[in-house]
Chain A
């Protein structure tokens, strides 16, 4: 038996007849006509899909708008803070010398808080007297480094580091004929050049010259101020040596400022409290500027040092600044630590 032939014959006998073929063709054509007529209802899902897209786009825009409205003010605020900090830094950089002078003035005044008004009044006379002789004072050997008002205001640390040859009220050499209990009447025997410095007071503004730089006369005058206070530290042992004396300028240039000193003396402690503060500016970006120096924030908040008052002119807030070497700890007025910073 040939399976192929037999199978073909059997399948041909089961092929659709004419009636079946026409029925299927009619059904197919009718289905096609129905499908073409049903095109519009089939578009409904597409319209819904478009609506979903539209609503999705609107929702996304709304989210973006809300986010922008929430974030932009903060960004602008931060930008303002940064610009203010930059301006402060630039201005601080421009006025660095002046600021330092002011700070040192304030510190000197603080150190000499026990000074009476008579001393202030006598300052002008001393300076006037010394006007003619100051140029001849090249032999003076005031120890600026150990001077009481060298400008750092750090009396505690400074007092600990006083060398043995530094004359202090408690450390006046026994063989010195100038050592008396009344320091205010002390007159340097060798380097006074006949000037009477006993009533001289420190003139803080004399620490700087007119050009804003450190005044080489600072040591000269501040040493005299030390005479009037109990914090004398000029080196009497070195008085006769040939150390270079920075006091080569004219003290007369400071006479105008002497009048200011009197005014400050009149104001008393108010002037001390208002000027004996550092300037601190928070950038809001992890670093601050303190007296024009940039400090970067660090995590180590331990440590100690000399406590000073700092003022934030932007926020108009006072802080305590504890400076120890390059490390600066900032506390609020309740002594809660604000942050630790390291000099850049």
Chain B
């Protein structure tokens, strides 16, 4: 176990400051729960500090954090507690602004931007593995190859998951947004 020196702590805080929102969003996209996303984010940065790898560049560091966030979120989703939680219950709670803090925070913006909430709700109705690839592809602007490296799956698998996710999203979004949806 390495000790936390002053310089290391400063650099570690810089890394957390830079990448913590990204890790949090990946975890939230996968888990759909803020507290779980916070736990996963903390776990990712603890691992980051403990492994103490030498990264070639910032892209390497970013790729490691993304992959670690995906794996930690997957582990949390497959934990005993989350397995016993019905996914329908999570979605139902996410639909209720009263019970879901994330959406309660967005409640003010909901009136201003109803479309954003509708998009998020539609994505949260997708299976977990599809939500991850959708987030990495559309929010992090990662290529299929980068996503396959991050989630540990083949590129064809990522492509098929993206295709199925779009196919599922289309009817959900068309209800809220009449007209053509451009992916």
Where the two chains meet, the residues of A that have a C-beta atom closer than 8 Å to any C-beta of B are: 1-4, 6-11, 13-16, 20-21, 23-25, 27-29, 31-33, 35-36, 39, 42
Shortest beta-carbon distance from B21 to chain A in Å: 5
Please name 27 pairs of A and B residues whose Cβ atoms are closer than 8 Å in the assembled complex, sorted by A: A1-B173, A1-B177, A1-B181, A1-B182, A2-B182, A3-B138, A3-B183, A4-B183, A6-B115, A7-B119, A9-B113, A10-B117, A11-B28, A11-B29, A13-B116, A14-B28, A16-B20, A16-B38, A24-B16, A24-B41, A24-B45, A25-B17, A28-B42, A28-B46, A29-B9, A35-B46, A36-B4
Whether the Cβ atoms of A16 and B21 lie closer than 8 Å is: yes
Shortest beta-carbon distance from A135 to chain B in Å: 111
Instruction: Enumerate B94-134 residues with CB–CB distance to A below 8 Å.
Output: 102, 105-106, 109, 113, 115-117, 119-120, 123, 134
Name B176's closest neighbour in chain A (CB-CB): A1
Whether the Cβ atoms of B20 and A3 lie closer than 8 Å is: no
Q: Is B92 an interface residue (CB 8 A)?
A: no
Whether the Cβ atoms of A31 and B9 lie closer than 8 Å is: no
Shortest beta-carbon distance from B47 to chain A in Å: 10
Residues of the A chain whose Cβ atoms lie less than 8 Å from the Cβ of B2: 36
Name B44's closest neighbour in chain A (CB-CB): A28
Whether the Cβ atoms of B25 and A11 lie closer than 8 Å is: yes
Whether the Cβ atoms of A4 and B138 lie closer than 8 Å is: yes
Q: How many residues of B contact A (CB 8 A)?
A: 44
Whether the Cβ atoms of B25 and A14 lie closer than 8 Å is: yes
Instruction: Enumerate B134-183 residues with CB–CB distance to A below 8 Å.
Output: 134-135, 138-139, 169, 173, 177, 179-183
Residues of the B chain whose Cβ atoms lie less than 8 Å from the Cβ of A31: 42, 46
Shortest beta-carbon distance from B2 to chain A in Å: 8
Number of A-B contacts (CB under 8 A): 103
- How far is A14 from B100 in the complex, measured between Cα atoms in Å? 12
Main secondary structure of the interface of A (DSSP, over half): helix
Residues of the B chain whose Cβ atoms lie less than 8 Å from the Cβ of A24: 16, 20, 24, 38, 41-42, 45
Shortest beta-carbon distance from B1 to chain A in Å: 5
Residues of the A chain whose Cβ atoms lie less than 8 Å from the Cβ of B173: 1, 3
Name A39's closest neighbour in chain B (CB-CB): B1
Residues of the B chain whose Cβ atoms lie less than 8 Å from the Cβ of A7: 119-120, 123, 134-135, 138-139
Whether the Cβ atoms of B109 and A11 lie closer than 8 Å is: no
> Which of B29, B49, B169 touches A3 (beta carbons < 8 Å)?
B169
Residues of the B chain whose Cβ atoms lie less than 8 Å from the Cβ of A8: 138-139
Residues of the A chain whose Cβ atoms lie less than 8 Å from the Cβ of B115: 1, 6
| 1/0 contact string of B31-69 vs chain A (CB within 8 Å) | 000000010011001100110000000000000000000
Shortest beta-carbon distance from A290 to chain B in Å: 78
Whether the Cβ atoms of B182 and A11 lie closer than 8 Å is: no
Whether the Cβ atoms of A14 and B46 lie closer than 8 Å is: no
Q: Is B7 an interface residue (CB 8 A)?
A: no
Whether the Cβ atoms of B49 and A32 lie closer than 8 Å is: yes
Taking A16-B20, A28-B46, A31-B42 as contacts, is the C-beta distance between A10 and B116 under 8 angstroms?
yes
Name B181's closest neighbour in chain A (CB-CB): A1
Whether the Cβ atoms of B120 and A20 lie closer than 8 Å is: no
Residues of the B chain whose Cβ atoms lie less than 8 Å from the Cβ of A36: 1-4
- How far is A20 from B105 in the complex, measured between Cα atoms in Å? 13
Whether the Cβ atoms of A25 and B181 lie closer than 8 Å is: no
Shortest beta-carbon distance from B9 to chain A in Å: 7
Whether the Cβ atoms of B117 and A3 lie closer than 8 Å is: no
Taking A8-B139, A31-B46 as contacts, is the C-beta distance between A14 and B38 under 8 angstroms?
no
Residues of the B chain whose Cβ atoms lie less than 8 Å from the Cβ of A14: 25, 28, 102, 105-106, 120
Taking A11-B120, A15-B25, A24-B41 as contacts, is the C-beta distance between A3 and B181 under 8 angstroms?
yes
> Which of A4, A21, A32 touches B46 (beta carbons < 8 Å)?
A32
